[in-house]
Structure 1
Amino acid sequence: MTRAEELPDVASAREFYAKYEPKEIIGTGASSTVRRCVRRTTSKEYAVKIIDLIGNGELVGEDLRTVTHNEIKILRMVSGEMHIIELVDVFETETLMFLVFELLHKGELFDYLTEVVKFNEKQTRQTMRALLETVAFLHQQNIVHRDLKPENILLDDDKQIHLSDFGFAVALEHDRQQLRQLCGTPGYMSPEMLKCAINELNPGYGKEVDMWASGVIMYTLLAGVPPFWHRKQMVMFRRIMEGNYSFPSPDWDDISSCAKDIIIKLLEVDPDKRLTAKGALNHPFFQHVEDGNRYFSQGFNPRKKFRVAIWTVLAGVVVSKLSQNVKKTMCVIIGKDPYSSKAIRKLIDASSFSVYGHWVKKRADQNRAMLFKNHLCFNKF
């Protein structure tokens, strides 16, 4: 049994074990292990994050204890917020800390995204609205998360998001306080945070870093790949600081200009010009009201909708007459350029992730369509 699989010493954490029964491991980190656990009196399931204060992580001992105390403090400050994970219990010993959270069975948004490859605009609107409402709440409390990413967004049974992992979060002393610590995940770091690491005279950063990360998340949801990824981290950092990204064809051909516009305003290099959380929620992309499975813009025009319905019916008649040629047409399209078909493109994207284990950026040097350039393999397919 490996160190990660071993249960902590019962004697040093008697209070936790008296209340909860730990089960299988559901996640691991540099200095922690997450297990499913069951409350003995109610049989209700939870997730417990067991933090090893004398482990081999980047932070050990009192440093790690201080960071964890800060996380607990912030989680208690935001307790009860709909889209933030709920901290249920805390136990602390000389060598271990136990943080008991609500158990969210659907896991990380990242894992779900790898299954579906990308979101449509409706799914993106729902997810990003919930995320931005949560960020707006945090910023109103002068809290900066500093590590927003799909891996730190968990899903419940209804696929509602719950923001987690507040280990890098900080409560500002005042609204305009500037920070300088380099922290978070490289692909989601903002230009102003990176500049702090290379320029001692840089004034620092504030809440705006969360908005940049939100833009990276939204781009990734819609495209299935992050905007700045590169296998060489220094190249990726340079792209981030320059705001060097694009909306390449064909992935972005069927995505609205409205969606692209809000991403552009979130991925604004100048933090003073970047959208705030409230400003983003007021963007036209979010000015829709959900009614079941339908969306209506606030400027609803019944005459225009009727004309669209008529044209839709007529188009359906034409499509039905041409249905006998669909298979033949698809074979021709796929044979010439498999990546031009949205359905096949989605299959390629999913397959490439399972092969490489990470996102593959569709640039000249890393085009996933190249996987299907071997005509002999394609003919077998």
Structure 2
Amino acid sequence: MEAYKTAGLFSIKFQMAKSLENAVETKNILSDYKIVQQIGYGSKANEYSAFDRQTNEIVCIKVLQKENQLEAKKTKTHWKKEFRLLRMFKSPFIMKYYTSFETSNSNILVLELCQLGSLDSLITRMKSEETLHITEKQIVDWMIQILLALSLLKNSKIIHRNIKPANIFLTYDLSVMLGDFGSSIDVSKTNEKSHHKAGNMQYKSPEMCLCSIESKQNEYDYKTDIWSLGISLYELCSLKLPYYGKSEEKMLQKINNIIIERIP
């Protein structure tokens, strides 16, 4: 593994180490935790690294805000689904769940911290830093680890439905973990298939794009996650997405008619 640690990744490690050194000096936000810094931004949730007073470890705190009464109900459903699924799995390739709790204006998950961020943030850095390169062997190792995670999900009759670089996280030893189970679905009672859409359009499988809740004519299964992982693999290797469209219809046209550019 040491052979694949580039100068750029060491830089990320150094920056995180400096943040952790200052953890005990940060402002006390919650009774059991001290927030270190914000590490993730999203439309539905923000993520923070934090010092756990009970275990003396650095953890990830994921905060889902309740913006209004309607959104509060959706947020709570999302929160409950994610922590129920995460606590099902004990795997080195799935983000570890510690605990969860609710406040007056947010639902909170306490999770294992993946110190080097997501593969999406790594891709962003690779686009701007010419010295930062990842070997093919390292990428293959990461894909195998996520496939092992997806195998566990399949055995539990769970479809993740939101596989993308932003939901694959790097640990300090350069392993990867799958996270963000808020879009996942249990298909144990639906013949192991679903017709409900979820996830980012650019990573959706063709069968998911064709689904319609009204007609229920098209369905997808576990293979939709494999498609999304394939798109993520292409993006990690080429630093760009193979398909892009302003609508699912445009996306499907490109999937059906355009030959993907070969990666050098």
Alignment TM-score > 0.5, same fold: yes
1:42–1:70 Cα change, 3 Å: closer
How far residue 153 of structure 1 moved from its aligned partner, in angstroms, is: 0.5
1:245 aligns to 2:255 (yes or no): no
How far residue 133 of structure 1 moved from its aligned partner, in angstroms, is: 1.1
1:243–1:107 Cα change, 3 Å: farther
1:37 aligns to 2:50 (yes or no): yes
Paired AA for residue 50 in structure 2:
C
Paired AA for residue 20 in structure 1:
Y
| Partner of residue 69 from structure 1, selected from 80, 83, 96 | 80
In the TM superposition, 1:284-323 aligns within 5 A as none
1:135 aligns to 2:150 (yes or no): yes
Between Structure 1 and Structure 2, how many residues are aligned?
A: 231
Alignment partners' CA distance in 2, 1:245 and 1:124: 23
How far residue 223 of structure 1 moved from its aligned partner, in angstroms, is: 2.2
1:231–1:31 Cα change, 3 Å: closer
How far residue 176 of structure 1 moved from its aligned partner, in angstroms, is: 3.0
Alignment partners' CA distance in 1, 2:208 and 2:246: 20
Q: Is the 8 A contact 1:106 1:154 kept in 2?
A: yes
Percent of aligned pairs sharing the same letter: 26
| Partner of residue 187 from structure 2, selected from 142, 150, 172 | 172
1:162–1:111 Cα change, 3 Å: same
What secondary structure, in the 3-state scheme, does the structure 2 residue paired with 1:99 have?
A: strand
Paired AA for residue 78 in structure 2:
V
Alignment partners' CA distance in 1, 2:168 and 2:145: 11
How far residue 85 of structure 1 moved from its aligned partner, in angstroms, is: 0.7
What secondary structure, in the 3-state scheme, does the structure 1 residue paired with 2:139 have?
A: helix
1:197–1:120 Cα change, 3 Å: farther
Of 100-109 and 29-38, deviating more is 29-38
Of 191-200 and 129-138, deviating more is 191-200
In the TM superposition, 1:343-354 aligns within 5 A as none
In the TM superposition, 1:242-281 aligns within 5 A as 242=256, 244-248=258-262, 251-252=263-264
State the Cα deviation string for residues 57-114 of structure 1 (Å, max 9, x = none).
xx71222211211111111111x21111111111113432111111111001112123
How far residue 230 of structure 1 moved from its aligned partner, in angstroms, is: 4.5
How far residue 138 of structure 1 moved from its aligned partner, in angstroms, is: 0.9
How far residue 28 of structure 1 moved from its aligned partner, in angstroms, is: 2.0
1:119–1:175 Cα change, 3 Å: farther
Q: Is the 8 A contact 1:36 1:47 kept in 2?
A: yes
Structure 1 partner of 2:228: 213
State the Cα deviation string for residues 180-223 of structure 1 (Å, max 9, x = none).
22210111001111111498252311111101111112222222
How far residue 129 of structure 1 moved from its aligned partner, in angstroms, is: 0.9
Alignment partners' CA distance in 2, 1:134 and 1:67: 21
Paired AA for residue 246 in structure 1:
I
What secondary structure, in the 3-state scheme, does the structure 2 residue paired with 1:187 have?
A: helix
How far residue 25 of structure 1 moved from its aligned partner, in angstroms, is: 1.7
Of 124-133 and 169-178, deviating more is 169-178
Q: Is the 8 A contact 1:54 1:61 kept in 2?
A: yes
Structure 1 partner of 2:108: 98
Relative to its length, the structure with more helix (as a share) is 1
Q: Is the 8 A contact 1:83 1:162 kept in 2?
A: yes
TM-score by length of 1: 0.56
Q: Is the 8 A contact 1:178 1:203 kept in 2?
A: no
Alignment partners' CA distance in 2, 1:222 and 1:236: 21
How far residue 164 of structure 1 moved from its aligned partner, in angstroms, is: 0.7
State the Cα deviation string for residues 341-371 of structure 1 (Å, max 9, x = none).
xxxxxxxxxxxxxxxxxxxxxxxxxxxxxxx
Relative to its length, the structure with more strand (as a share) is 2
Q: Which has the higher contact order (CA 8 A, sep 6+)?
A: 2
| Partner of residue 156 from structure 1, selected from 151, 171, 178 | 171
Structure 2 partner of 1:225: 240
**Runs of 5+ consecutive residues of structure 1 not aligned to the other structure:** 1-15, 253-381
State the Cα deviation string for residues 267-299 of structure 1 (Å, max 9, x = none).
xxxxxxxxxxxxxxxxxxxxxxxxxxxxxxxxx
1:25 aligns to 2:38 (yes or no): yes
1:125–1:89 Cα change, 3 Å: same
Structure 1 partner of 2:117: 107
TM-score by length of 2: 0.79
**Runs of 5+ consecutive residues of structure 2 not aligned to the other structure:** 1-28, 128-132
Structure 2 partner of 1:273: none
Structure 2 partner of 1:318: none
How far residue 40 of structure 1 moved from its aligned partner, in angstroms, is: 1.9
